[in-house]
């Protein structure tokens, strides 16, 4: 799992999530609370300390009010 968290692909996913969240002006703690998670849930994802499943990725996109395909477009632009 640790290797997966350091892969270029995973970093691209995290980068896309962070970019969208920051563009919308949403704090990590606020997003965590919206998801019903602990205060540092998003922080641990963005710090590459916690893996992120597909369903969680969709839930985050929904809370950011971003269509998942927009998020995937951002991810694929960052993965070579």
- Token reading at 59: 């839930």
CATH number at residue 18: 1.10.260.40
**Residue 48 pLDDT:** 92
Closest by CA position to 42, among listed 66, 70, 69, 14: 14
- For 35-75, write each residue's pLDDT tens digit: 999 989 999 999 999 998 889 999 999 999 988 888 888 77
Q: What is the pLDDT of residue 74?
A: 78
In percent, how much of the chain has pLDDT > 70? 91
Domain interval for residue 48: 2-78
pLDDT digits over 17-43, tens only?
Answer: 899 999 999 999 999 999 999 989 999
The number of folded domains in the chain is: 1
């Amino acid at each position: 799992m640790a290797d997966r968290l350091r892969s270029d692909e995973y970093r691209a996913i995290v980068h896309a999530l962070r970019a969208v969240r920051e563009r919308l002006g949403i704090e990590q703690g606020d997003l965590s609370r919206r998801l019903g998670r602990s205060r540092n849930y998003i922080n641990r994802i963005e710090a590459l300390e916690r893996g992120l499943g597909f369903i969680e990725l969709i839930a985050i996109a929904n809370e950011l009010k971003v269509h998942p395909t927009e998020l995937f477009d951002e991810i694929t632009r960052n993965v070579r």
